[in-house]
Chains A and B, each alone.
Chain A
């Protein structure tokens, strides 16, 4: 192994954002003619590292050698000249162009269209791509678009390909096809870095595996000398003791119950498939899963911002197809703390006062808004959560991330909710702010509020939640009690290696003490189908 030619050598790469290390002393070696998997949980620094290789970021410390030469990559164009091509998770394609037009975009190729087409055809037939060069991108399936991206990179003579979660959006058949192509490219001497979370795929396609955790380099393994269990252990690390506490109280009856949920993403692909779950009062249900496997869509559907198939009930009453306004109107106090705080949930240009007003402005009768009491609320909130701000009238976009989040959480908790839906509430926050948020949620739990907590840090999920629902690409892998499970088990479920719903007779996500009878469920589901047909 050691005497093989090296394509990329990274030595002690570091990069930090706003004082937090995204990458710290990362080492990475990529040989010619191999497929290397990079594994790590969310926030482990994979994407940052790849962005440095493709010229989007520059490392602050450390060197990158490409084919043995010290390289300095300042732009995607530089990356191309070094033969590095990256296929991003979100495709960079012009929708109204044909595949051909997208492929030749930005290259000064003086040859005629015929010759160019011929040389693209050469590439496609060499690696076995199926592609219609004259098809417009907007008419293409996700897999076809991905093919265009890969061909685009190859046409730029890339010898090093970086594929960022290429399988996330593909069907099993399409994945087979992709892997076939990848193997052909490897046999042709090209080097490929693949980022994926599905362990079975890692085992199947890669020659070696590099594992990152929390911005740091952990180890590199040869695929044929390891197994899924060992990899998972490296990935999740040893269990860390957090100063977090799981509040032990007796959970109440189900508050929110959902069955047969099917939710689509914005681009029409499936986000959530056939999901059942329920939330009890005084209980925190954690949701674990790799980023982007349906958590955001699930939250939006529950609070009425996204259409869905299936049925959601609140205390036995159907709230199917309700808008946020309707949910509010029937007296449900549902709070939603979304992941994109400034985009959804807060109005960035408005003041703290006005942002608090958003939730309460139409509670009082009359045509006027009551800024006075909102200002009082703002003063209280600032005091209680120690928000750092010049005044109550400062636009929230001028505050730091932690303070923005405190305002959102403070507002959402402020109107005494009985259901809280929250996604990554501590993302981007410092330790103290994070613990403050956890404390607030625990306090709410003690008031018998039902809480859905979408998280990314397994340690937190394990210590903080009562139960964890694990999603893998929108499919429920099982719901486990945190006291009866291990991080490894959850890791395996997240990567799709373990599916508890398959070998267990019990149907996951059905409450034993459901407030809705089975007959009623069936009726509701039928109604839902009729409603959707209209």
Chain B
């Protein structure tokens, strides 16, 4: 008899896909979840720091807005990374390799800057030529990095997630190797290149080192948004991502589109790499490409909406800068509080996605009664 009742058990609740989406509801769920994650983060920091909430929060805000241009730059860099992965993502191509792409492009620029620095410093024209050369080589190396896995994906269906991950580490190894070569085996990093005569350095705008980069990344964002929403190429990429069969049905060459889209992604990361080398850091280290994974997360979870992405980027940059102040003020010895919070926020968004996309219905226990009759 026991077996019988077990057999007739109905599940406590059933989950089904939702077909009605309400914008307000989605916003509310996300807001609740994100607040919850921030609360958890606050509790963790309270436990570790052992200082009143007010002190921590004030340090957070002061830190964040201490250098507004830095905050803006960090926002833009993150946005640039995020935007660079969007085209490939929209066609459901899992490009984890933004890190590597930026690294090789920054690397190629730094190498040129290092070896041609003296030549470039001889005249203004030489310097301009050098910058152009750096720009070109950045783009080319980044495109190569992006396209290799894409070709294999198109030709043989090689798993791009793992391939691009590996490409990151090959890039990292190359960076540390070339750094050694440049310093003749003496140092891990070449340091700031041409710090005396600034050859190969991008000009400043409005007297601010970062302004040019910020403007370029904003333009880049606008371009990608335009490309994805208004051009045929962007449209094709989106269709491929939505339904590869339908894309073929209307006569699209999906392999060509894959490779073309990854070339674009390579160009975008190439620009970022160039900015790192020429305008921001003037050097290259393993950390240069460190934002790639966060970018993957944020562009996916913002649903590729550039406006949302920009907001999220600002928020993340705020957290990073703010927590770094928190860390230094309370002598935490590590800047990684921000990563903990970012991780928690991403978890909470993933949870809210579920409640937005699925409907949970609790089952009434009718069946059981029927049996007991």
Contact = CB atoms under 8 A, between A and B. Distances in A.
Chain A in direct contact with chain B (Cβ < 8 angstroms): yes
A340 B106 CA distance: 47
Nearest to B21: A398
Interface string B197-240: 00000000000000000000000000000000011110100110
A522 B250 CA distance: 31
B242 A348 contact: yes
A347 B243 contact: yes
Q: Which applies to chain B's interface (DSSP): helix, strand, loop or mixed?
A: helix
Contact of B235 (A78, A303, A305, A361): A361
Contact of B249 (A74, A324, A371): A324
A325 B253 contact: yes
A86 to B, nearest CB: 18
A299 to B, nearest CB: 11
Nearest to B230: A368
Chain A interface size, as a band, is 20 to 34
A342 B9 CA distance: 35
A369 B230 contact: yes
A72 B248 contact: no
B118 to A, nearest CB: 42
B251 A325 contact: yes
Contacts of B250: 324, 358-359
Contact of A305 (B9, B243, B249): B249
A347 B8 CA distance: 40
Contacts of B359: none
Given A324-B251, A325-B253, A398-B19, A347 B232 contact: no
A244 interface: no
A303 B367 CA distance: 50
Interface in B301-350: none
A347 B246 contact: yes
B7 interface: yes
A361 B232 contact: yes
Interface string B245-262: 111111111000000000
A186 B9 CA distance: 34
A384 to B, nearest CB: 22
A303 B21 CA distance: 36
Interface in B21-67: 21
Most buried by A among B3, B231, B251: B251
A371 B226 CA distance: 13
B4 to A, nearest CB: 9
Contact of A369 (B19, B232, B371): B232
Contact of A347 (B7, B9, B242): B242
Interface in A367-415: 367-369, 371, 398
B242 A345 contact: no
A345 B20 CA distance: 23
Contact of B246 (A72, A323, A346, A369): A346
Nearest to A326: B251
A274 to B, nearest CB: 27
Given A347-B243, A358-B239, A398-B19, A324 B232 contact: no
A111 B96 CA distance: 47
B7 A369 contact: no
A444 B198 CA distance: 71
A369 B242 contact: no
A344 B248 CA distance: 9
Contacts of A325: 251-253
A217 interface: no
A346 B242 CA distance: 9
A305 B246 contact: no
Interface string A309-330: 0000000000000011101100
B245 A343 contact: yes
A344 B251 CA distance: 12
Interface string B268-297: 000000000000000000000000000000
A369 B249 contact: no
Most buried by A among B21, B242, B367: B242
A297 to B, nearest CB: 14
B242 A78 contact: no
Nearest to B370: A72
Nearest to A324: B251
A323 B245 CA distance: 13
Given A78-B7, A344-B245, A368-B230, A350 B239 contact: yes
Contacts of A371: 230
B251 A345 contact: no
B242 A367 contact: no
Contacts of B231: 367-369
A303 B246 CA distance: 13
B103 to A, nearest CB: 31
Sorted from nearest, which 7 A-B pairs have the closest CB atoms?
A: A325-B251, A324-B251, A347-B242, A349-B242, A344-B245, A347-B243, A358-B250
20 contacts: A74-B8, A305-B249, A324-B248, A324-B251, A328-B251, A336-B249, A338-B249, A343-B246, A344-B243, A345-B246, A346-B243, A346-B246, A350-B239, A354-B238, A362-B232, A367-B232, A367-B233, A368-B232, A369-B230, A371-B230
Interface of B: 3, 7-10, 19-21, 230-233, 235, 238-239, 242-243, 245-253, 367, 371
